[in-house]
Structure 1
Amino acid sequence: MSELPFFEFNSLPLRPPEYAATLGPTVVIAPHPDDESLGCGGLLALLAQAGQPVWCVLVSDGTMSHPNSVKFAAPARRALREQELRTALQELGCSSDALLPLNLPDGSVPSPDTEAGAEAVARLVAFLRQTQPHTVLCPWRRDPHPDHRATSLLVQAALAQLSTPPRLLEYVVWAWQRAAPSDLPQPDEAIGWRLEVQPVLARKQRAIAAHRSQLAPSIIDDDPAGFTLSAEMLAHFEQPFEVYLEAR
């Protein structure tokens, strides 16, 4: 797949940092620990700075980043990655306890038409009814990772069950590098804009750095085939803005 041209995102309208506060109480849905920091860490920091409540739903257990590790067996990987996420939330100024882990299988997040997916949707609905957010953040519906796409389907199914659903904003993670033309918003499908996050960019970088297992050299050092974020990928999230897409 060809990399998404920088100008495609760079040409979107830029909204000031103060715009974040207008989103109100917000729930971020993260397919894996680190997606919250990469895709929308700046927005989360700005929300926290403005005194807006922020909650996080962690969809998968994150265990498939280093599946062959012996030092960190699957339960230890799950605990490590969840703790990294909690640390990242603290770095962003958010409560590390405002977290709902769904513990779905990393790499195999189910769709809503399965038993496990329907159970996840029910938990999401209950959580959204409890927290009453004004805004929900989730990955772009065709972000080129199967767990991100499945997460989008789960969120859409949950929102469809709410009488007054919150505003849905979609953030991009893998679309920066892996998007095919068909992955991108089609005409009249969505509008896009950028949020300036320069005032909290250092916070965002510290939150990304909290995910130590995903950065080279990983603290999970006994799985040579394990995943780490490349420098080229990380460079996209050093920019002083974040991109959001919203259905028309």
Structure 2
Amino acid sequence: MPDTAALHFAEFPLQPADFTASLGATVVVAPHPDDESLGCGGLLALLRRAGQPVHTVLVSDGTMSHPNSLRFPAPARRALREAELREALEILGVETAQTLHMGLPDGAVPTAKATGFAAAVEQLSAYLEAHQPQTLLVPWRRDPHPDHRATSQLVHAACARLTASPRLLEYVVWAWERADPAELPQPSEVRGWRLDISSVVALKQQAIAAHRSQLLPIIDDDPAGFQLSEGMLAHFAQPFEVYLEAV
């Protein structure tokens, strides 16, 4: 479905780079290490250039990209991927000391009514209450990965607890490659726009490259391990990013 998604997103109006200054203090919520760079790395870089504070929430432990590796057991995979996340954020100019690592199981982030959901909502809402972001970046609600959809549910439930609701911008990752027509955004539910990131697209590419375990055979003892394909990466080399906002 990549052509369907690309044609759909191409119809969205283009916002200039300086639009980002209006978003204010921002928190990006990433289901896995690399989603922050793939989905909104350009926006994060532009926010920092505009002097806006940015903080990060990492939802899952990121260990299921190579679940059969013996040389890199789960704790080592988690440590590796968290180190890659720190490097990527530093490239984008994002402070990392206050990153929230929720440590939820990769591939099994809890959805509403599942065990662990309520505790995760409480943890996330407390973090957001402490940081008071004006804008929250969250995966598209029907992005075709269960962890992305679960993350969307967590964020919406956490926002319902806040004294002041932030502006919610949804970014796309797997919708580029895997979304069927029913999973794509509809005009009745969101307005979509593209952000011009041409001035920082090189920084975004450097941040993506920091996630080496998802690009190169660093974890080489799991033949079924995950790697981002060239086709998938091509979507994130474009001079714009796609965002969706509830109408």
Give the TM-score normalised by structure 2. Answer: 0.98
Measured at CA, do residues 202 and 36 of structure 1 come closer, stay the same or move farther in structure 2, by a change above 3 Å? same
What is the number of residues matched between the two proteins?
247
Cα distance in 1 between the residues matched to 2:230 and 2:132? 37
Report the CA distance shift for 1:126/1:236 in structure 2 as closer, same or farther (over 3 A): same
Query: In structure 1, what is the Cα distance between the partners aligned to 2:5 and 2:111?
Result: 30
2:32 corresponds to 1:50: no
Q: CA deviation at 1:35?
A: 0.2
Q: What corresponds to 2:222 in structure 1?
A: 223
Following the alignment from structure 1 to structure 2, what is the Cα–Cα distance between the partners of residues 169 and 58? 17
Residues 26-175 of structure 1 correspond to what in structure 2 (within 5 A)?
Answer: 26-175=26-175
Q: CA deviation at 1:184?
A: 1.1
Query: In structure 1, the residue corresponding to 2:218 is in which secondary structure?
Result: coil
108-117 vs 34-43, which deviates more?
Answer: 108-117
* Match of residue 199 from structure 1: 199
Q: Which residue of 2 aligns with 1:11?
A: 11
Cα pair 2:193 2:244 within 8 Å, conserved: yes
Deviation at 1:5, TM superposition (A): 3.9
1:21 Cα deviation from its structure 2 partner: 1.1
C-alpha separation in 2, matches of 1:31 and 1:212: 17
Cα distance per residue 1:99-152 (max 9 Å; x no partner):
100000000000132341111100111001100100000000000000000000
Q: Structure 1: how far apart are the matches of 2:3 and 2:99?
A: 33
> Any idea what the Cα deviations from partners look like across 1:154-211, whole Å, max 9, x if unmatched?
0000001113210000000000010111101224110000000011111100000000
Equivalent pair of 2:85/2:211 in contact (CA under 8 Å): yes
Structure 1: tracts of 5 or more residues without a match = none
1:107 is aligned with what amino acid?
Answer: G
Q: Distance in 2 between matches of 1:224 and 1:7?
A: 34
User: Is the Cα contact below 8 Å between 1:3 and 1:179 reproduced in 2?
Assistant: no
Deviation >6 Å, runs of 4+: none
Q: What is the letter of the counterpart of residue 229 of structure 1?
A: L
Question: In structure 2, do the counterparts of structure 1 residues 54 and 2 end up closer, same or farther at CA, with 3 Å as the change threshold?
Answer: closer
Q: Secondary structure at the match of 1:192?
A: strand
Letter in 2 for 1:227: F
Does the 8 Å CA contact 1:86/1:97 hold for their aligned counterparts?
Answer: no
Q: 1:181 to 1:136 in 2, by over 3 A?
A: same
Distance 1:131 1:8 in 2: 34
Greater mean deviation of Cα atoms: 149-158 or 104-113: 104-113
Please state how far the C-alpha of 1:53 moved relative to its aligned partner. Answer: 0.5
What residue is the counterpart of 2:239 in the other structure? 240
- Report how far residue 97 of structure 1 moved: 1.6
Whole-angstrom CA distance in 2 between matches of 1:139 and 1:181: 17
The SS at the match of 1:188 is coil
Q: Can you list the C-alpha shifts for 1:53-112, whole angstroms capped at 9, x where unaligned?
A: 100000000000000111100000001001100100001011122310000000000013
What is the identity percentage for the equivalent residue pairs of Structure 1 and Structure 2? 66
Q: Distance in 2 between matches of 1:113 and 1:5?
A: 31
Quote the RMSD (CA, aligned, Å): 1.0
Equivalents in 2 of 1:94, 1:138: separation in Å? Answer: 17
Q: Retained in 1: the 8 A contact 2:45–2:93? A: yes
1 CA distance for matches of 2:13 and 2:160? 29
Q: 1:2 to 1:92 in 2, by over 3 A?
A: closer
The question of whether the paired residues in 2 share the 8 Å contact of 1:4 and 1:177 is answered with no
**Partner AA of 2:219 in structure 1:** I
